[in-house]
């Protein structure tokens, strides 16, 4: 089994031979962060403005080194909290607007991939949210009822019907979100980078920036000058001394099996265009990849300390307990695949806020931000890249949604974030155990 995380997916930036910044530079638009949010923004700026705008993308590590290149590739709707809880907090009209916005982001993302022929193994299908006990089954039913009452096309499944989707002894009911998608996320990262380079954009890796100042930032001992900069740094934003104590770097874990045999695939029952995610506080999710491997993720997240980040960047082995936690979840949810050979185990860092909403901000200064996606970054990142390019042209501030804001609620003093986050994760596990999850 490979516990190293240097090559999670089959594609890397090596084929692009990207340099590091080694001299002062000047540009119209500086994008800090070469994940999907940053690359999408650079791509759409170049598409809209062409050669009349110089665009530079920099990353402290390599392409997709954060969540963008290390996620499950599951693209679906939703943000913040379950839909019926959004209705309770914001009312029917605003909740409907919030959820519809995520559906639009999903649709835009899949259309972009198709239209531009971005190589990423796109598969259109359905995502199923499933319950595991009486308590979260009630919450799932409330969510389904609220979605249907708001006019969204959602199909509900009882236990017997859900057995026809996936054979698991723990699932009680499900909601189907149709026209969702799965991709190879690192392929998409590389495809976007190639398009950016082809349009005249510049990408520099292993280029660490200091905190941006007005129209300037220090990077690798050099000076980068810009008209506007975008922080697309997600869980790494606090390392720039921005939103410290408000965006928390959290690691989530995944593992990938050897190709499943026809017999194993039949036992699982899951079609390649379907993906599963449960609604526990500490949840699991899985799908089957295009080459018939089981991709299984979730379990208890953990704080991304400097040591964890170095391990992820350098490809050094994951802690064995990461595999143990995922393996326990697999045996519980899919016991028929408990002995399946696992070939890779890895983790990746996401950015989490207290209210589970991102921070999307057109700054009063020359620095904008698109961070804290809280695990919903695939569709939102691609769509917000297009929105950002439009904002630059129209000088608008974006729609009136909860995550279009300059900051996020305060979590804890930065020095106490590891303790606060791990205590909160323990509380979530306790809450799940009390509800029978």
Do 157 and 97 contact (CB within 8 A), yes or no?
no
Give me the architecture of the 13-70+186-245+355-416 domain, per CATH: 3-Layer(bba) Sandwich (3.50)
Whole-number pLDDT of residue 85: 97
Q: Cβ contacts of residue 370 below 8 Å, gap of 6+?
A: 37, 38, 41, 230, 231, 232, 358, 359, 360, 361, 381, 384, 388
pLDDT tens-digit map of 187-245:
999 999 999 999 999 999 999 999 999 999 999 999 999 999 999 999 999 888 889 99
DSSP state of 280: S
User: Which of 28, 39, 398, 345 lies closest to 185 in space, CA to CA?
Assistant: 39
Whole-number pLDDT of residue 31: 98
Q: In this model, does residue 264 exceed pLDDT 60?
A: yes
What does pLDDT average to over the chain? 92
Distance of CA 127 to the CA centre of its chain: 15
Lowest mean pLDDT among 121-130, 296-305, 316-325: 316-325
Distance of CA 82 to the CA centre of its chain: 17
Across 65-69, 223-227, 234-238, 418-422, the highest mean pLDDT is recorded for 223-227
Q: In this model, does residue 19 exceed pLDDT 80?
A: yes
Whole-number pLDDT of residue 304: 92
Nearest 5°: the CA angle 421, 426, 427 is 95
- Mean pLDDT value of segment 114-129: 97
- Mean pLDDT value of segment 369-377: 87
Alpha carbon distance 267, 263 (integer Å):
6
Whole-number pLDDT of residue 307: 87
Percent of the chain with pLDDT over 90: 80
* Global pTM value: 0.94
**In 183-328, beta strands by DSSP E:** 202-204, 216-219, 222-231, 248-259, 274-278, 284-288, 293-303
Whole-number pLDDT of residue 318: 73
């Amino acid at each position: 089994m490979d516990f190293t995380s240097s090559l999670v997916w089959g594609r890397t930036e090596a084929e692009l031979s990207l340099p590091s910044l080694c001299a002062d530079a000047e540009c119209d638009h500086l994008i800090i962060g070469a994940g999907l949010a940053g690359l999408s923004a650079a791509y759409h700026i170049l598409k809209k403005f062409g050669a009349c705008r110089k665009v530079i993308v920099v990353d402290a590590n390599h392409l997709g080194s954060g969540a963008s290149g290390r996620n499950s590739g599951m693209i679906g709707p939703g943000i913040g909290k379950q839909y019926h809880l959004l209705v309770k907090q914001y009312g029917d009209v605003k909740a409907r607007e919030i959820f519809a916005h995520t559906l639009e982001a999903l649709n835009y993302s899949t259309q972009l991939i198709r239209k531009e022929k971005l190589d990423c193994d796109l598969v259109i299908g359905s995502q199923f949210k499933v319950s595991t006990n009486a308590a979260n089954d009630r919450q799932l039913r409330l969510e389904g009822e609220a979605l249907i009452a708001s006019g969204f096309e959602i199909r509900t499944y009882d236990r017997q019907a859900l057995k026809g989707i996936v054979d698991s002894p723990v699932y009680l009911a499900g909601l189907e979100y149709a026209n969702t998608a799965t991709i190879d996320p690192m392929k998409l990262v590389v495809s976007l980078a190639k398009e950016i380079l082809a349009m005249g954009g510049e990408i520099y890796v292993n280029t660490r920036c200091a905190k941006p100042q007005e129209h300037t930032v220090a990077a690798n001992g050099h000076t980068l000058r810009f008209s506007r900069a975008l922080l697309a740094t997600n869980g790494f934003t606090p390392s720039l001394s921005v939103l410290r104590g408000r965006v928390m770097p959290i690691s989530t874990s995944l593992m990938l099996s050897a190709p499943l045999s026809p017999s194993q695939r039949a036992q699982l029952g899951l079609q390649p265009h379907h993906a599963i995610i449960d609604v526990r506080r500490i949840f699991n999710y899985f799908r089957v990849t295009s080459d018939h491997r089981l991709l299984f993720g979730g379990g208890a997240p953990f704080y991304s300390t400097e040591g964890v980040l170095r391990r992820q960047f350098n490809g050094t082995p994951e802690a064995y307990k990461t595999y143990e936690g995922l393996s326990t979840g697999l045996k519980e949810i899919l016991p028929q695949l408990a002995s399946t050979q696992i070939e890779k185990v890895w983790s990746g860092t996401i950015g989490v806020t207290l209210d589970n909403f991102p921070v999307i901000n057109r700054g009063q200064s020359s620095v904008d931000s698109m961070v804290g996606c809280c695990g919903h970054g695939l569709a939102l990142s691609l769509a917000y890249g297009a929105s950002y390019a439009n904002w630059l042209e129209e000088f608008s501030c974006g729609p009136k949604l909860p995550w279009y804001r300059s900051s996020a609620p305060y979590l804890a003093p930065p020095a106490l974030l590891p303790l606060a986050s791990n205590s909160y994760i323990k509380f979530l596990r306790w809450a799940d155990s009390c509800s029978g999850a």
